[in-house]
Amino acid sequence: MEKKLIELFDTTLRDGTQGEGINLSIIDKLAIAQRLDEFGIDIIEGGWPGSNPRDEEFFQKVKKLNLKRSQICAFGSTARFPNKISSDINLNALLKAETSTVSIFGKTWKFHAEKGLGLTEDENEELIFKSVQFLREHGRRVIYDAEHFFDGFKDDRQFALRMIKAADEAGADVITLCDTNGGSLPPEVMNAVLAVKDIIKKPIGIHAHNDCELAVANSLTAIETGAVHVQGTINGVGERCGNANLVSIIPNLFLKMNLDTKNEIQINELTSLSNFVFEVMNLVPNTRAAYVGASAFAHKGGIHVSAVMKDNKMYEHIEPDKVGNKQRVLVSDLSGQSNIKYKAKEFGIDISADNELSKRLVEHIKSLEYDGYQFDGAEASFELILRSETNEFIPFFKTLDSKVHVTFDNQRHTSAEAVLKIEVNGEIEHTAANGDGPVNALDNALRKALTRFYPEISKIKLIDYKVRVLNEKHGTSAKVRVLIQSGDGIETWSTVGVSENIIEASWQALCDSINYKLFKIEKEKHVYHI
């Protein structure tokens, strides 16, 4: 029996851009299209050329990309009036886009046809038939999106199926069933797909929204029932709660359902693709995303880590590298010796034979986390602790004294000055610096004091700074945790500080950040002196 091939239809550049907070330039859309092509997506829906000049320009510029795997698809609606098909502005805009494939939506919910367009049943059927026929006569492959199909099927089954039949008889190449409101359940999807299969022989597609957190489940249910075309977006971006997430659908098709797609997918690039789209859209990646999230294969509990070190199948449903992700072990107050040994090995430190050291480290970490430290988000600080315990690391500088002076008035004039005295290799450096705030002033003073000894620190940049209040009931005297992410243009690292004094907590994290980078530099030079 011939294996069923699934056609992947990506609408990140069209439906995905309707999500709140998402706005893509033409350059952004072209960059994403290029990556989708490299990944192996079959069809990329680029936008609605009849709705705005930006999408019209995209369809002109995308021709120059010379895509190797993907087809570009223009999106639009059926004509507005049954007797004005050939002059319809939207249909002609689709032709002007010059894509070999077009997707058009039409009403399959009687409520929408009557209330939204004021059309009778016969008029709506004619509109669908003639619109599809017009595009087919002009040599386009037509994907008909049956808008609100599942709602329409539940409301008036005969009307919905009649509209599907009209698109089929007009020559649509694919009939896509749309859960536009995202309110359907998998059994409802299955029953509706079966009903459509009974009346048409054309390929059936599924377009699901995530308003019930079921877009992926509904898409897979439709495919299991007979659909061979699936629409969605990268990372599930889209209007309201989003579209079906192709980043979850694709590995489920390949790794769970043993299905293939028309194009050869580079599934080991899935995590990279997901992160790339998040970056272009200026969105924070979902760390708990299935398959590709940073936490998807992260283990924290000591029992879990012990088991994973013996055989990862005990707590991982696939090999992480199959989707371009990696296994991670976190260190926390839930850690056991297995966590510590795993992380030590990751850092290139062998403590497997030293159980006493492992026990001491476990107790030390649990004590620190009880005080409010968090090391699963600050691995650089944890590595410094580990290397201190193994006598590999001693801080590169000692803080002798520090003062921070902050002023502000009712005219919103503010100033911050830090005065710092540190010791480096027996020499005392006394310096001062201004800043936009107390932490920035301290950061500037520290860099100023250290530059003479370690000029490499000029490359270190503060990327992110987060403050978390740990015991809110204590009000302004509450303990806070500061997490700092730093980078040098090549790698990034995170450090942590905890105190009732936010300045001190920030100082701890800043010092760890500088010390971590200096340790790495000296280690690479193999001239680090204890």
Mean pLDDT value across residues 400-424: 89
Q: What is the pTM of this model?
A: 0.70
Buried b (16+ CB within 10 A) or exposed e, 205-230: bbbbbbbbebbbbbbbbbbebebbbb
Higher pLDDT, 470 or 437: 437
Higher pLDDT, 160 or 364: 160
Question: Other C-beta atoms within 10 Å of 422: how many?
Answer: 22
> Which pLDDT belongs to residue 528?
44
Do 302 and 276 share a structural domain? no
| SS3 of residue 104 by DSSP | strand
Do 189 and 137 share a structural domain? yes
Mean pLDDT value across residues 13-34: 93
Task: Give the integer Cα–Cα distance in Å for 364 and 356.
Answer: 12
Do 324 and 220 share a structural domain? no
Binned at pLDDT 50, 70 and 90, residue 483 comes out as confident
Choose among 503, 528, 502: nearest CA to 516: 528
Contact 238, 18 (CB under 8 A): yes
- CA 113, 117, 118, 124 dihedral sign is negative
Which range (40-49, 405-414, 434-443) has the least confidence? Answer: 405-414
The neighbouring-strand residues paired with 183 are none
pLDDT digits (tens, 9 = 90+) for 373-393: 767 667 888 888 888 878 888
Which residue reads 């450096």 in tokens? 429
Tokens standing for 462?
Answer: 């503060």
Do 345 and 220 share a structural domain? no
Q: Give how far the C-alpha of residue 309 lies from the chain's centroid of Cα atoms, to the nearest Å.
A: 28
Choose among 229, 302, 297, 200: nearest CA to 41: 229
With a CB cutoff of 8 Å and minimum separation 6, the contacts of 243 are 11, 15, 16, 207, 208, 209, 210, 215, 231, 232, 233, 236, 237
Which residue reads 């340790």 in tokens? 519
Contact 413, 432 (CB under 8 A): no
Binned at pLDDT 50, 70 and 90, residue 360 comes out as confident
> Which pLDDT belongs to residue 431?
93
Do 144 and 109 share a structural domain? yes
In a domain, 529, yes or no: no
Higher pLDDT, 378 or 425: 425
Higher pLDDT, 363 or 424: 424
Q: Residue 262: is its pLDDT beyond 50?
A: yes
| SS3 of residue 146 by DSSP | strand
Do 324 and 402 share a structural domain? no
Range of the domain at 429: 397-453
> Which pLDDT belongs to residue 353?
63
How do 414-424 and 427-435 pair as beta strands?
antiparallel
In a domain, 40, yes or no: yes
Do 131 and 51 share a structural domain? yes
In a domain, 357, yes or no: yes
Task: Give the integer Cα–Cα distance in Å for 121 and 110.
Answer: 7
> Which pLDDT belongs to residue 481?
87
| SS3 of residue 458 by DSSP | helix
Contact 394, 417 (CB under 8 A): no
Contact 56, 28 (CB under 8 A): no
pLDDT digits (tens, 9 = 90+) for 188-241: 999 999 999 999 999 999 999 999 999 999 999 999 999 999 999 999 999 999
Which of 280, 314, 344 terminates a domain? The answer is 280
Do 241 and 92 share a structural domain? yes
Q: 3-state SS of 59-97?
A: HHHHHHHCCCCCEEEEEEECCCCCCCCCCCHHHHHHHHC
pLDDT digits (tens, 9 = 90+) for 365-375: 777 777 777 67
In a domain, 479, yes or no: no
pLDDT digits (tens, 9 = 90+) for 292-333: 987 777 766 555 656 655 666 677 688 888 998 876 665 544
> Which pLDDT belongs to residue 529?
44
Percent of the chain with pLDDT strictly greater than 70? 87
pLDDT digits (tens, 9 = 90+) for 80-126: 888 899 999 999 999 999 999 999 999 999 987 888 778 899 999 99
In a domain, 320, yes or no: yes
> Which pLDDT belongs to residue 297?
76
Do 246 and 175 share a structural domain? yes
Q: Residue 264 to residues 54, 222, 272: CA-CA distances in angstroms?
A: 31, 22, 17
Give the highest mean pLDDT range of 35-39, 294-298, 433-437. 35-39
Which range (59-73, 87-101, 258-272, 514-528) has the least confidence? Answer: 514-528
Binned at pLDDT 50, 70 and 90, residue 428 comes out as very high
Q: Residue 530: is its pLDDT beyond 60?
A: no
> Which pLDDT belongs to residue 449?
92
Query: Which CATH number characterizes residue 440's domain?
Result: 3.30.160
> Which pLDDT belongs to residue 494?
87
Q: How many residues does the chain have?
A: 530
Higher pLDDT, 23 or 382: 23
In a domain, 376, yes or no: no
Query: Which CATH number characterizes residue 33's domain?
Result: 3.20.20.70
In a domain, 443, yes or no: yes
| SS3 of residue 186 by DSSP | helix
Tokens standing for 230?
Answer: 């699936």
Binned at pLDDT 50, 70 and 90, residue 465 comes out as confident
Do 273 and 309 share a structural domain? no
Do 210 and 70 share a structural domain? yes
Task: Give the integer Cα–Cα distance in Å for 507 and 496.
Answer: 9
Choose among 324, 289, 282: nearest CA to 31: 282
Which range (125-134, 341-350, 420-429, 477-486) has the least confidence? Answer: 341-350
Do 265 and 316 share a structural domain? no
Q: Give how far the C-alpha of residue 520 lies from the chain's centroid of Cα atoms, to the nearest Å.
A: 30
> Which pLDDT belongs to residue 334?
44
Mean pLDDT value across residues 40-67: 92
In a domain, 115, yes or no: yes
Q: Residue 141 to residues 71, 72, 98, 135, 417: CA-CA distances in angstroms?
A: 11, 11, 12, 8, 67
The domain tally of the chain equals 3
Mean pLDDT value across residues 353-366: 71
